[in-house]
Amino acid sequence: MSLPLPPARPAEALLVDRLRAAGCVFAEDEARLLAAAADHPARLAEMLELRCAGHPLEQVVGFAEFAGLRIALAPGVFVPRRRSEFLVERAAALGAPGTVVLDLCCGSGAIGAALAARLGAVELHAADVDPAAAACARRNLAPYGGAVHLGDLDAPLPGDLRGRVGLLVANAPYVPTGEIPLLPPEARDHEPQVALDGGADGLAVQRRVAAVAPRWLAPGGHLLIETSGRQAPATAALMTARGLAARIEQDEERDATVVIGTRRG
């Protein structure tokens, strides 16, 4: 006599089991996101395998929620962090409609998009050295008429931007090279090194941003750099050395630190 079969488990419950076994803390939420993002069972299975292998959830589903926006992402592109919303907030408080906004080391363009969404009509430019990131940024900035320039730091920028930028924002990499192995595997193994590695002291790219900023900033314009609380005094000193009036602002809840440098008028 055959025994009755147990009732079939909902597909989402099976997803949760797999995700939980892979160490995903928010397995239920992730299962719902994966199911909603997949357009076919085979695609869902592929996405599940990627997530269980440690790929960032945002890269797997193709987007990240940031500052109230859905930011398109692709495999291998830096995932915008919640702490960077503080950078957006501080920059938005210093801007207005019509401001010329420049996002250096833009990655997916999340910060530039969030600023344009908050400020309204701005002249928006962004630049990144990574072709995959620049492609994402073009998708995310298109609704705001943003121009994305592919190249190293400010090298690809059009000359007519010189002296006109009101807000120059940069979430430049600031993890010291020796600390890269200490990052979570999602970042260490699946995000581009160029978006993480700030050189021996974590300030290598920030140093370059501070050096070029004065040539692009309008009188009274602001440079905002995200950094760590530990590095903030050094970041401020980089700005001061370039003639900018620097101050440090922090948000303890999000563990976020922004250094703001203002070009004197």
Q: What is the pLDDT of residues 33-76, one digit of tens each?
A: 898 888 888 999 999 999 999 999 999 999 999 999 999 999 99
Q: Is 47 helix (H, G, I), strand (E, B) or coil?
A: helix
Task: Tell me how far apart the alpha carbons of residues 29 and 50 are, in angstroms, rounded to a whole number.
Answer: 16
Percent residues over pLDDT 90 in the chain:
85
Task: Read off the amino acid at residue 65.
Answer: E
pLDDT tier at 4, thresholds 50, 70, 90: low
CA nearest neighbour of 114 among 224, 246, 227: 224
Backbone phi, then psi, for 262, in 5-degree steps? -115, 130
Task: Tell me how far apart the alpha carbons of residues 87 and 252 are, in angstroms, rounded to a whole number.
Answer: 13
pLDDT tier at 1, thresholds 50, 70, 90: very low
pTM of the model: 0.92
**How far are the Cα atoms of 178, 189, 196 from residue 182, in angstroms, in the given order?**
8, 11, 12
CA nearest neighbour of 59 among 85, 77, 39: 77
Residue 154 has a CB neighbour count (10 Å cut-off) of 20
pLDDT digits (tens, 9 = 90+) for 162-189: 999 999 999 999 999 999 999 999 899 9
Question: What's the confidence (pLDDT) of residue 8?
Answer: 39
